[in-house]
Chain A
């Protein structure tokens, strides 16, 4: 496809050519989104003294960035599973929530066994946080694996049926979670060795350390996944499996093992997101819906099955989410959900398969 000298072409054709270059388009859309935000920001000048401060802008920007990190963790597992198996795991949010609850309960058990406990919140040693994290992640990954082996494996190719199966499982998990964990929002305590906040050295601002930690973990996970998919033999098989499942198995590779592994890792990532999100924000019974929605939006924006798309989508969603809450004109901040909706619509109008989406 020729991509040069298209300035003389009619608009429709230029648009079509443009949509053939997703990266450039992604940049443009992000630019437009940013412009909209700046505009909103300027509008906010008029009536909100707090929003006018550059300090607020920096904090809100960091909030958006760290939220994006969390959203990426959740969505990367979702998109990995879809990309390889064409399974839309509607229970992904449920796995996220379960991991949070598991980790919280485990941590409570660990802390209450501590004989040195006095008044006030007990000190949380690193082990009291890392061990629940690991156990919860592996437990949730195991649940995901069982789900795939027992219910999804023999329905390969029937994507609607598989989606319905995972919806049924999410209904059961949601109800059981309320029965066992109650409906109160809880917070997993971060280990005591983590400082509460870090000095940003700008305007004398400090920022919660854990949120930055989540962002770093998300970046590390993203790089690891990218390297694993692009550089290892397993990743090569996964990429080949995305393109042509039958050919891969015809070459003598046990594709079922690859599927199982991908589902395990996908669920593990949901679990990791759940524990980190539970420490950063809270664990609540509504988390399953919430994070399923976030995962859906991220992959619809970024394109199903694309890791880079998930990163861009998470970034767009996180920033829109954070800025919308603060920078809308006073009295209208509760309409911020419309901004997310607008973002979704904008992307879909230009690219129905998402920024990096490819037809199946």
Chain B
């Protein structure tokens, strides 16, 4: 197999990125690895659950943070912690049960909302998300007064504040595994059916596919991925509170997915990395430091207005442009972006004002 420029361009950045991340403990400070990189990786997983649904099933869900909250709160209640229930199971077992809970709730919510499409689906999942937040905010038996604190982590991870590297490598490994798994899933008959349903639900129904069942299962899969992010986020924070699953967090994950590229799986981690870095850098800056959310909102608005394909859309346009220049010939290439509105070729990344 010969690697041509085009393929190299497509794979090199990802490979370099993974390499840099693998060497992160050498390259960055302990604080940076924990506060920026690990956070970016688990935020990326949460965004990946949204992008999986959006890109392959055409379901733009705002319920992912609520589902990760279900996983996080279930786990938090089942392990030794301050607040929540008194049960203290093995942390791995509790994490597994948390994932099961998120998947089960996802299956239920998916069954209810699988008949809604597009913008209706978005609204419905948003309503579910906010209701979940109010549920945890009100039911202090489950969420503790002031959240569940000092959650016990598995022995392998230990104390993520004292030694952030085990959790970092675990999150990196899970991110890579999930990336490969989702890409693989998209090529299975299930994944191909989902993509068919995304484009032509009526036609797929006419062909005899059970559209609702497929959409329900897709949503449950998304819930499982979101649950993984939720479990890791609780390990990383060593705490969870209703505020961790409120609307701002839901919007953060949406912003990450849109900035990265709502229809490109890689975009999840690209967006999350940018978000975590910005979060870390801007908070210290004088005037705008306190108004981080305004900055995020403006960037989000700019991306939606200028490049709906997000950073990955810009990247694809740029590499397409380079391809043509390098090859010196017009070459038809399969569209990599499933989005309907192409990004402006060659337009610079949107900058905040």
A residues contacting B by CB (< 8 A) are 86, 88, 90, 151, 158-161, 163-165, 167-169, 171-172, 174-176, 179, 289, 292-293, 296-297, 299-300, 304, 334-338, 340-341, 344-345, 348-349, 352-353
A296 to B128, CA, bound (A): 10
B124 touches A300 (CB 8 A): yes
Mask: chain B, 256-293; 1 = CB below 8 Å from A; 0 = not:
00100000000000000000000000000000001111
For residue B308, CB closer than 8 A to chain A, the reply is yes
B135 touches A289 (CB 8 A): no
B residues contacting A by CB (< 8 A) are 60, 112-113, 115-116, 118-120, 122-124, 126-128, 130-131, 134-135, 138-140, 246-248, 251, 254-255, 258, 290-294, 296-298, 300-301, 304-305, 308, 341
- Can you list the 9 inter-chain pairs with the closest CB atoms, starting with the nearest? A171-B297, A172-B297, A175-B293, A168-B301, A352-B115, A334-B138, A168-B300, A293-B130, A175-B294
A160 touches B118 (CB 8 A): yes
A320 to B246, CA, bound (A): 23
A160 to B61, CA, bound (A): 11
B138 touches A175 (CB 8 A): no
A334 touches B139 (CB 8 A): yes
A348 touches B124 (CB 8 A): yes
Note all chain A residues with C-beta closer than 8 A to B308: 161
- Taking the closest CB of chain B, its distance from the CB of A18, in whole angstroms, is 17
B304 touches A168 (CB 8 A): yes
- Taking the closest CB of chain B, its distance from the CB of A319, in whole angstroms, is 17
Note all chain B residues with C-beta closer than 8 A to A334: 138-140
A296 to B255, CA, bound (A): 21
B112 touches A345 (CB 8 A): yes
Note all chain B residues with C-beta closer than 8 A to A86: 119
Q: In this complex, what residue of A is CB-closest to B254?
A: A167
A110 to B330, CA, bound (A): 69
A161 touches B341 (CB 8 A): yes
A176 touches B130 (CB 8 A): no
> Given that A160-B122, A296-B123, A300-B124 are contacting pairs, would A172 and B301 also be in contact in the complex, using a CB cutoff of 8 Å?
yes
A300 touches B60 (CB 8 A): no
- Taking the closest CB of chain B, its distance from the CB of A188, in whole angstroms, is 24
Note all chain A residues with C-beta closer than 8 A to B134: 293, 337
Q: In this complex, what residue of B is CB-closest to A335?
A: B139
A175 to B251, CA, bound (A): 13
8 Å CB contact of B118 from A159, A179, A289: A159
A174 touches B140 (CB 8 A): no
Contacts A86-B119, A296-B130 known; list 8 others, CB within 8 Å: A151-B301, A159-B118, A163-B122, A168-B298, A169-B297, A335-B135, A335-B139, A348-B115
B294 touches A165 (CB 8 A): no
- Taking the closest CB of chain B, its distance from the CB of A180, in whole angstroms, is 11
Q: Considering residues A174, A175, A353, which has the most beta carbons from chain B within 10 angstroms of its beta carbon? A: A175
- Taking the closest CB of chain B, its distance from the CB of A129, in whole angstroms, is 31
- Taking the closest CB of chain B, its distance from the CB of A198, in whole angstroms, is 31
A304 to B119, CA, bound (A): 11
- Taking the closest CB of chain A, its distance from the CB of B105, in whole angstroms, is 11
A139 to B304, CA, bound (A): 26
Q: In this complex, what residue of B is CB-closest to A289?
A: B247
- Taking the closest CB of chain B, its distance from the CB of A21, in whole angstroms, is 19
> Given that A160-B118, A345-B112 are contacting pairs, would A171 and B135 also be in contact in the complex, using a CB cutoff of 8 Å?
no
A167 touches B251 (CB 8 A): yes
Note all chain A residues with C-beta closer than 8 A to B140: 334
- Taking the closest CB of chain A, its distance from the CB of B209, in whole angstroms, is 19
Note all chain A residues with C-beta closer than 8 A to B120: 304, 353
A171 touches B251 (CB 8 A): yes
